[in-house]
Amino acid sequence: MRYPTRLLTEGEEIVDEFRPHWKVLLPAIGWAMLLAALAGVAFAALDQPWGWVALGVGALIWLTLSLRSLIDWYFTNYVLTSERIIVRQGMIARTGVEIPLENVTNVLFSQTVLERLLRYGDVTLESAGTQGRSKLDDIPDPEGFQSEVYAARELRTSHVRGGGAAGSVRDLVAQLEALADLRERGHLSDEEFEAKKARLLREAANE
């Protein structure tokens, strides 16, 4: 479920939008495989119509065990815009958190070895005001999202302080992603990457 564009302010644009990583669906997939195997054995072993009953019971059990996680995954949206970070959850009863980019003071990400291999992790946003700390669990490419937030924050802060027009967040994010790609392929060291990233952010803030 995509974030409604009608809820954006004038001039605000969506930089990135995604659901939690597919890892959160693994329990539902595991139950589906197990119950499909058991239902298949029962279908082959039982006389009709009991075989079809076994299939129906298996499907009902899977829905009971997995439907909640599927709904939670589909109706959870993480949205980064040129002005704020938005988290929306729920199908009928909706909840939402919004953090203005200019209030973000720090962005931390964490990944275990397995999470790094599967390219997901957690991101913690530290912000001024009443929000304090907000944790985004199981998001794809947390390091890339960290860079996107920093880039968008620098442009937003510059605009709020009257340092110039908001500019194109997407252009800056694309440049940061290109630098990250060069580092991943070994063409840039970590030190060179950090130096070039800092220069891009300074230039964006001074525009």
What pLDDT is recorded for position 166? 45
Over the chain (207 residues), the average pLDDT of each successive run of 10 is: 76 86 81 76 74 76 77 87 87 79 87 89 82 84 86 76 55 74 72 77 65
Q: Domain spans of the chain? A: 5-20+76-206, 24-73
Q: What is the pTM of this model?
A: 0.65
pLDDT in tens, 131-155: 678 888 899 989 888 888 888 887 7
Backbone angles phi, psi at 206, to 5 degrees: -90, -5
Residues 6+ apart with CB under 8 A from 73: 19, 20, 24, 25
Tokens representing 189?
């060291």
CATH class of 5-20+76-206: mainly beta
